[in-house]
């Protein structure tokens, strides 16, 4: 039997709102210009522009706090910002803006002489201890064209200078939402172009909730596995199936700050173990092994490429941070429990006898039907499944085959469409750029095959 009593501690790590030594965080630099993952330790550093800053001041701060890069006697550092003292957000300017928007830019001449402050002047100010904000003010005061600009372009100018001379860092909690968005923005190919709205729809359609047993074939480096585990709060199980002996990598799971209890519930098992060995199945064991071997071969190709990608992501995301050493050095962050252990025999037995309560397949380099035909039968009757693919055709074919083999009903191929809006007085409109493809989902419900009434 499964233990149904070990629930996540409510006030425990899953929902902590203050950072701690060794916690994983998302750093949003300059209002989304760059988003990166980091582990907060006393020695970890981050490079912003040409400045290296220690992440130490971020430890023990509430998520949602902002910091600004300042330069002190001991070099650049991250100084906490007091929200209301900012006073220069785009939004706060808008009121007067609409009224005086009779100004236009006909008198504006673009040349490089508009700014009278030189790089040396700025360095000089820095040496005398000027704050980033003061430098931005000085740049504005010394701009010949600033007064002629429209309020909107003045604001744009101010923000541009602020980003350069006083960059900001926003501390964010890593959630499925923010992790998926961060990847989609900068490394969409690493998560198979799975957009956050598609991920959210996938989790709903798969009916992921506490105490479920979810079979997750995740070739997106663990983003799906992590998102599923996040919805289960340390109850139930996530099982990553694989062919052969090597489980697929799920490194993104480490970014979630999961508690030990949640990590313990992310397991892997081979297809051979998961498939009940009764003669019921037409495929003989030998055939099965062969099939697995072939698949493993295929997987290896994709696997090695995704392993390479991972390194890349590390490079990009933790660019110039010597976090790794420090993580090892800090005893608190040394995880006692690792996510993705091998499923123990009694858990596998439970799955064999009861079936899984949901199935998710996210294998954008494989044929959807090829995976579905093996995994859908592992579902309990009436259980939902969802297959993600970045292309439509494999899902259409898979849907057709599931239908002709009478394996499922309630089949639907869907594709979410997401549009963001700029909302400002008299200037509300959809964003000029949008992602036009966030991937496709095939969803359905497994039916009981014994319908010979």
Which residues, 359 to 388, sit near other proteins by CB under 8 A? 380-384
Which residues, 16 to 35, sit near other proteins by CB under 8 A? 17
Which residues, 198 to 227, sit near other proteins by CB under 8 A? 199-201, 203-205, 207, 209-212
User: Taking Cα atoms as reference points, which of 377, 397, 399 lies closest to residue 449?
Assistant: 377
**Is 185 among the residues that bind other proteins (CB under 8 A)?**
no
> How far is residue 220's CA from residue 193's CA, in Å, rounded to a whole number?
9
Which residues, 81 to 120, sit near other proteins by CB under 8 A? 82-83, 91-92
Phi, psi (degrees; rounded to nearest 5) at 31: 55, 50
Vertex 392: Cα angle to 391 and 395 (nearest 5): 105
Residue position matching structure tokens 């109850």: 235
User: Taking Cα atoms as reference points, which of 101, 104, 67, 73 lies closest to residue 86?
Assistant: 67
**Is 232 among the residues that bind other proteins (CB under 8 A)?**
yes
Nearer to other proteins, 92 or 315 (CB): 92
Nearer to other proteins, 67 or 323 (CB): 67
Q: Compute the least distance from the CB of residue 158 to other proteins, in Å.
A: 18
Of 2-10, 46-54, 161-169, 284-292, the segment contacting other proteins by CB under 8 A is: 2-10
Which residues, 278 to 307, sit near other proteins by CB under 8 A? none
**Is 445 among the residues that bind other proteins (CB under 8 A)?**
yes
**Is 4 among the residues that bind other proteins (CB under 8 A)?**
yes
**C-beta of residue 178 within 8 angstroms of C-beta of residue 256:** no
Nearer to other proteins, 126 or 373 (CB): 373
Q: Compute the least distance from the CB of residue 44 to other proteins, in Å.
A: 21
User: Taking Cα atoms as reference points, which of 360, 420, 418, 352 lies closest to residue 385?
Assistant: 360
Q: Compute the least distance from the CB of residue 63 to other proteins, in Å.
A: 5
> How far is residue 21's CA from residue 27's CA, in Å, rounded to a whole number?
15
Q: Compute the least distance from the CB of residue 390 to other proteins, in Å.
A: 15
> How far is residue 53's CA from residue 57's CA, in Å, rounded to a whole number?
10
Residue position matching structure tokens 């009224």: 99
With CB under 8 A as the contact rule, the residue among 24, 41, 44, 65 that binds other proteins is 65
Nearer to other proteins, 308 or 427 (CB): 427
Count other C-beta atoms under 10 Å from residue 48's C-beta: 19
Q: Compute the least distance from the CB of residue 301 to other proteins, in Å.
A: 26
Of 117-125, 133-141, 329-337, 411-419, the segment contacting other proteins by CB under 8 A is: 411-419
Q: Compute the least distance from the CB of residue 348 to other proteins, in Å.
A: 15
Q: Compute the least distance from the CB of residue 112 to other proteins, in Å.
A: 35
**Is 231 among the residues that bind other proteins (CB under 8 A)?**
yes
Nearer to other proteins, 204 or 246 (CB): 204
Nearer to other proteins, 151 or 411 (CB): 411
With CB under 8 A as the contact rule, the residue among 155, 230, 261, 374 that binds other proteins is 230
Burial class (CB in 10 A: 0-12, 13-18, 19+), 360: buried
Using DSSP's 3-state secondary structure scheme, residue 265 falls into: coil
> How far is residue 313's CA from residue 307's CA, in Å, rounded to a whole number?
10
**C-beta of residue 291 within 8 angstroms of C-beta of residue 261:** no
**Is 8 among the residues that bind other proteins (CB under 8 A)?**
yes
**Is 235 among the residues that bind other proteins (CB under 8 A)?**
yes
**C-beta of residue 298 within 8 angstroms of C-beta of residue 285:** no
* 149 HSE (CA, 13 A, CB side): 15
Q: Compute the least distance from the CB of residue 35 to other proteins, in Å.
A: 13
With CB under 8 A as the contact rule, the residue among 61, 140, 303, 337 that binds other proteins is 61
Q: Compute the least distance from the CB of residue 445 to other proteins, in Å.
A: 6
Output the six-digit token pair for 89: 């957000």
With CB under 8 A as the contact rule, the residue among 117, 159, 337, 396 that binds other proteins is 396
With CB under 8 A as the contact rule, the residue among 80, 124, 129, 345 that binds other proteins is 80
- CB burial string 152-179: b at 16+ within 10 A, e below: bebbebbbebbbebbbbbbbbbbbbebb
**Is 233 among the residues that bind other proteins (CB under 8 A)?**
yes
Count other C-beta atoms under 10 Å from residue 208's C-beta: 25
Q: Compute the least distance from the CB of residue 104 to other proteins, in Å.
A: 24
Q: Compute the least distance from the CB of residue 257 to other proteins, in Å.
A: 11
Burial class (CB in 10 A: 0-12, 13-18, 19+), 109: exposed
Q: Kindly give, in sequence order, each residue whose CB lies less than 8 Å from that of residue 80, ignoring residues fewer than 6 positions away.
A: 57, 61, 65, 66, 67
């Amino acid at each position: 039997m499964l233990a149904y009593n070990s629930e996540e501690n409510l006030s425990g790590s899953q929902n902590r709102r203050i950072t701690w030594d060794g916690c994983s965080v998302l750093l949003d630099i300059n209002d989304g210009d760059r988003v990166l993952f980091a582990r907060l330790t006393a020695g970890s550093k981050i490079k912003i522009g040409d400045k290296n800053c220690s992440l130490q001041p971020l430890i023990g701060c509430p998520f949602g706090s902002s910091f600004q890069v300042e330069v002190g006697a001991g070099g650049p550092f991250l100084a906490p910002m007091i929200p209301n003292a900012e006073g220069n957000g785009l939004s706060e300017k808008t009121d007067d803006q609409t009224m005086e928007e009779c100004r236009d830019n006909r008198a504006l001449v673009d040349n490089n002489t508009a700014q009278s402050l030189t790089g040396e002047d700025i360095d000089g100010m820095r040496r005398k201890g000027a704050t980033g904000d003061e430098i931005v003010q000085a740049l504005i005061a010394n701009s010949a064209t600033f007064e002629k600009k429209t309020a909107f372009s003045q604001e744009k100018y101010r923000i541009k200078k602020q980003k350069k001379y006083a960059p900001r860092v926003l501390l964010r909690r890593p959630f499925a939402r923010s992790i998926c968005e961060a990847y989609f923005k900068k490394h969409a190919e690493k998560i198979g172009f799975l957009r956050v709205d598609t991920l959210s729809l996938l989790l709903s359609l798969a009916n992921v909730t506490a105490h479920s047993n979810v079979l997750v074939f995740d070739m997106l480096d663990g983003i799906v596995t992590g998102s599923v585990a996040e919805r289960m709060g340390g109850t139930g199980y996530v099982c990553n199936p694989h062919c052969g002996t090597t489980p697929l990598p799920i490194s993104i799971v480490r970014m979630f700050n999961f508690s030990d209890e949640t990590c313990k519930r992310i397991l892997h098992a081979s297809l051979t173990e998961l498939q009940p060995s009764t003669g019921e199945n037409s495929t003989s064991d030998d055939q099965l092994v062969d099939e697995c071997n072939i698949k493993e071969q295929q997987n290896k190709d994709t696997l090695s490429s995704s392993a390479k990608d991972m390194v890349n992501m590390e490079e990009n995301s933790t660019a110039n941070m010597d976090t790794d050493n420090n993580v090892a050095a800090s005893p608190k962050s040394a995880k006692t429990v690792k996510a993705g252990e091998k499923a123990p025999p009694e858990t596998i037995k439970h799955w064999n006898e009861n079936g899984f309560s949901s199935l998710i397949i996210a294998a954008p380099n494989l044929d959807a039907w090829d995976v579905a035909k093996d995994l859908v039968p592992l579902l309990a009757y009436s259980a939902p499944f969802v297959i993600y693919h970045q292309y439509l055709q494999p899902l259409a074919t898979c849907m057709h085959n599931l239908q002709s083999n009478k394996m499922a009903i309630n089949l639907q191929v869907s594709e979410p469409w997401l549009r963001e809006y700029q909302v400002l007085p008299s200037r509300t409109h959809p964003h000029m750029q949008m992602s036009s493809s966030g991937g496709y989902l095939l969803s359905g419900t497994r039916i009981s095959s014994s319908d010979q009434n």
